[in-house]
Amino acid sequence: MTLRFDNRVAIVTGAGGGLGREHALALAARGARVVVNDLGGARDGSGGSASAAEAVVAEIEAAGGEALASGASVTDADAVQAMVDQALARWGRIDILVNNAGVLRDKSFAKMTLEDFRFVVDVHLMGAVNCTKAVWDTMRERNYGRIVMTTSSSGLYGNFGQSNYGAAKMALVGLMQTLAIEGAKNDIRVNCLAPTAHTRMTEDLGAGLPLEALDPALVTPGLLHLVGDDAPSRCILAAGAGGFERAYVTLTQGVHIVGPDAADEIGARFDAISDRTNEIVPEMGAAQAMLELTKARSNL
């Protein structure tokens, strides 16, 4: 069955180029009406122009689709709300939000300024919060919503020179985990996409990458699945070069240690604590406490 988005309205941030553009074009090609949001700034977040968003809207309209351009900065909550209000005024609904906007200000932590750290966190994390907050109530009222946070392997696993970016990207996983729980009763499904693609965000790495294999368009099928009617929720989907994997935040069974020598015993038994046999993927944070209390009771 062909995945379609007829009568759905989607907002894609950072959609003036790269991954966001591919997401917007693909959603429109499958019937969605798309708000193409892009500040139009440089890779580090400086400057701004609506021309990038307008160009993608022109592509969508030329192919027979419907789209609306927005040059709002995701860091400006009032501008984001105005974008959402404009979409609601035109189409009466918002079904899909793809939080894709991002910037890079890479440096080793020793050389990074606090300003650069805060700015990257503000764009990636608070930008996604601003956009999600602006659509949350209308999705709750309609009992339908599909939201995707764009995370990264740099957040999940770390990457030299990207402490700010990695921190923000892992924070989006935490945001997704809780929003998926809170949105479940209103059929709001929230997921994360961890892409690998060659865009202007990775242009400095180009010499070491097989660029022909890292077409952003190869990531977008994963995004489409995450925003479809039959989408999962609380999923971290990794995608790139035609490969799709799923990442998990897991918890080992661990051991029970109490007493005056507990700190020393933890060191001595750290391999057992780290043993991944029978590890679990908790349904919510309380699972950690339950696991620990179960071990405590069994040792009474």
Secondary structure letter of residue 99 according to DSSP: E
Torsions phi, psi for 140 (to 5 deg): -65, -40
C-beta of residue 246 within 8 angstroms of C-beta of residue 236: yes
Torsion of CA 172, 178, 180, 181, to 10 degrees: 170
Asked whether the CA dihedral 221, 57, 143, 181 is positive or negative, the reply is positive
Q: Catalytic amino acids?
A: 165
Q: Can you list the alpha helix ranges (DSSP code H) found in the chain?
A: 18-29, 51-62, 77-91, 114-121, 127-142, 153-157, 163-183, 220-226, 262-268, 270-274, 286-298
Please, which residues have CB within 8 angstroms of residue 160's CB and are 6 or more apart in sequence? Answer: 108
Cβ neighbours, 10 Å, residue 121: 17
Torsion of CA 126, 197, 136, 53, to 10 degrees: 90
